[in-house]
Structure 1
Amino acid sequence: MTLLKPKYKSESRYGKWWYAPHHRLKRLISRAVYHLSYCLLRPKHRQPKIPVADIKRILLIRYDVLGDMAVTMPLISAFHTANPAIKIDVIASTRNRLLIDGDRRVHKVILFQENPAFWFKVWSLRQNNYDLIFSFIDRKPIRQALIGHLAGNRHTLRVSIMRPLKYRAFFDKTIRLIGQSFQHVARRYLHLANEVVEFSKNILDTPIRLDYSPSTVVEAFLEKNTLNHREFLVVNISAGREATKWTTQNFVDLIVAVRRRTAYPIVVICTQADAADAAKIHEAINDSRVVIFPPTKNIFEIVELLSRSLMLITPDTGVVHLASAAQTPVVALYTNIQSGKTAEWTPYQVPHRLVIAPEDALVADIPARVVFDAVASLLDELRALQPPVTSSA
């Protein structure tokens, strides 16, 4: 097993003679920045909850990746269900706008761009008179605060996830949730909304729902390969980060084990960049019941395929959350390297198994047999959940 070096060595900066005064100086500077920005911006920290019926328009700042947009969908659903008249605008990126383009719950999608034209567009949003602006992205809080102040008016409430002290005065509400590192991020966003908006019903169990039409491409693919509803498994071989990639040989070993011991057909999915690896896996296995779904840029074709499958097996990537939207059980592979708390990004409200690499190890270091054990365990649970077949007299 390949292990990375520990993040902190014994001779780390914490033992240096200069660390304590240096740390105190940073805290003093943070407090000074906070108090100065507080005096200039006068954030509405003590604003009472707003009744959801009084909200007319909100703006969500969500210009990051696909998975982050997916876990924000419960919040969009909660607002739309509580008050269908609310107009919800979203600042999205080219990578995640595919998930909300055409969504009837979203009034307008503004594409984030790093050029002056974007900032003029943000300034023009002031005429929308937003009641709430939500900032969900961890990185670059100053940029998000600037968007909030340019797009909002005096009555707008700017709400953010918890920030370091020096950034908190840039937002009207920065909300810390008890045990937030151990909550799923979708539920955390719902808690955040619940802290500033008065809903008439509980919203904390709102699922991930996507607004799309069934795909004829998927229907034709399943018919061509004689794949029945909920009687095949999907294996995703693509991952967004090097730390979460699993090896081609591991995928081969896993699929062979699944086919030998369960006989379930397998559908392999991947991005266009990993199409060659998918072909190698298919050639190495040489099994007619292992097929490749053609790489596609249509996210909803993947969602439709997952909704027809029995289970998804995948490294940690945005497809995990698409499976949650499709209500499909998941076996997911995780590493703690270059990522936040695993509990924040697990499958949401679906049966699942997590296979986590040892500390400081990559997903590639997880053996195929360990993943197969997780697959077998989840299959046993799914069989137990199936209603018993009753024979008619």
Structure 2
Amino acid sequence: MSGKDWKKQRRFRQAFARQLQKMLHKPLLMPPYNGPLHSIAILAQEKYGDAILLTPLLRQLSIHFPKTEVHLITFSQATHDFFRNDRNIDALHFAKGNTIAYYRRILSRRFDLLFNTKDHPSTSFLLQSLIIRARRKAGIDCPYHRGIYDYLVDLDFHTQVALKNCALLALLGKPVKSDDCRPYIPEKPLSETVRTFLHSLPERHYIGINISAGGATRYWTEENWKRLSENFTDDKFVLFSAPGDHEQKERLERSCPNIIPSPATRNLYEVSMIAARLKLLITPDTAMVHVASCVNTPVIGLYGIAPQDQSRFMPFMVKHRIIVSSTAFVRDISPDQAVKTCQEMLRK
């Protein structure tokens, strides 16, 4: 999407939110919510990183409100599959799936509480907030959510997203400490090839490299990854990649003698099982940063210059270092910066 198209969409979302604010004009209620809580509907964001950072809230809801039905509503097939085996939710729904089933399971019933996890205006999330019936509705505070929701999570915009999600517990009268908000990856069956690879992988000896990213501006170059590995001839590396980057992964494994071949992974759970056995993970700003948080593996994150990416999606509850590009492009981080930071992390 071009910058012009993105700005056009942003203006449309903001205009749509303003119309809802004028139409609903809800007074803001002071927490805690003290009504019935037999059921809660949560709108889950579309990307893997957002999905991972939602898991601490799901776990804490199951602990503090074990009798509450938690209904999770997803908006992408990827996150729907991610949450499919999550034991902390009672029902999983796909907003863009079967219309009749969605009406029967969601739109025809009334929930006690709805929670929008986005901290900025989203047309689809605002529309679902409007059409899903709930006794009370909660969101994260931003200028475009005021007057639409009964309760708002009032935290600084740059607060880490996992903490923003868990702040819903404070609105419900059950605040939790940040130490209780470690994310997790829902379990899935392991393939035989990954299981065999795990048995051959010594614990906390190898360094992990993730070469994939969620957008073009977040990729480091193949040559940079190669130069990084060449500076650590006494160490061995394991590479991760999304399916679209598998050819680059194989080229690096062939050309760099200290990068060991590893099997393709089918899902983030398999990725996390490998990451849990590493002594360090190096990755661009993408979901792999949060996979490291799940398994408590130290991580070096490569970020663009945008401060909101560094703050809201920083590594959480894990030893880490962040390397920030001088531009919006991660590729402008020099290999020397990464080598130096990696050396410092390994010494520690």
TM more than 0.5: yes
Q: Hey, what's the Cα distance between the residues in 1 that align with 2:109 and 2:62? A: 18
Aligned with residue 23 of structure 2, among 12, 20, 37 = 37
Aligned with residue 157 of structure 2, among 180, 188, 204 = 180
Could you say which residue in structure 2 is the equivalent of 1:221?
A: 197
Q: Hey, what's the Cα distance between the residues in 1 that align with 2:125 and 2:198? A: 44
Asked whether the 8 Å contact 2:85–2:188 carries over to 1, the reply is no
Please give the residue correspondences for 1:204-215 in structure 2 after superposition, counting only pairs within 5 Å.
204-205=178-179, 206-212=181-187, 215=190
Could you say which residue in structure 2 is the equivalent of 1:255?
A: 229
Aligned with residue 133 of structure 2, among 148, 152, 164 = 152
Asked whether the 8 Å contact 1:131–1:157 carries over to 2, the reply is yes
Could you say which residue in structure 2 is the equivalent of 1:162?
A: 141
Shift of residue 361, structure 1, vs aligned partner: 4.5
Could you say which residue in structure 1 is the equivalent of 2:43?
A: 61
Correspondence 1:125 to 2:106: yes
Q: TM-score, normalised by structure 2?
A: 0.86
Asked whether the 8 Å contact 1:330–1:352 carries over to 2, the reply is yes
Shift in alpha-carbon separation, 1:83–1:36, aligned structure 2, 3 A = closer
- How many residues are aligned here? 333
Correspondence 1:50 to 2:50: no
Q: Look at both structures and tell me which one has the larger radius of gyration over its CA atoms.
A: 1
Please give the residue correspondences for 1:1-393 in structure 2 after superposition, counting only pairs within 5 Å.
33=19, 36-38=22-24, 43=26, 45-46=28-29, 48-50=31-33, 54-92=36-74, 93-113=76-96, 117-118=98-99, 121-122=102-103, 124-126=105-107, 128-138=109-119, 141-153=122-134, 156-165=135-144, 167-177=145-155, 179-181=156-158, 183-191=159-167, 193-199=168-174, 202-205=176-179, 206-212=181-187, 215=190, 216-223=192-199, 226-258=200-232, 260=233, 263-285=234-256, 287=257, 289-336=258-305, 340-358=308-326, 360-381=327-348
Shift of residue 73, structure 1, vs aligned partner: 0.7
Shift of residue 123, structure 1, vs aligned partner: 6.5
Unaligned runs of 5+ in 2: 4-13
Identical aligned residues as a percent: 21
Shift in alpha-carbon separation, 1:123–1:172, aligned structure 2, 3 A = farther
**Cα deviation 1:104-157 (Å, max 9, x = unaligned):** 1111111131x7x5387246425553221111235653432331232224xx21
Asked whether the 8 Å contact 1:58–1:131 carries over to 2, the reply is yes
**Cα deviation 1:254-301 (Å, max 9, x = unaligned):** 01112x2xx22211111121111112212222x1x4223222332211
Question: RMSD in angstroms over aligned alpha carbons?
Answer: 2.8
Shift in alpha-carbon separation, 1:243–1:235, aligned structure 2, 3 A = same
Asked whether the 8 Å contact 2:218–2:284 carries over to 1, the reply is yes
Asked whether the 8 Å contact 1:269–1:294 carries over to 2, the reply is no
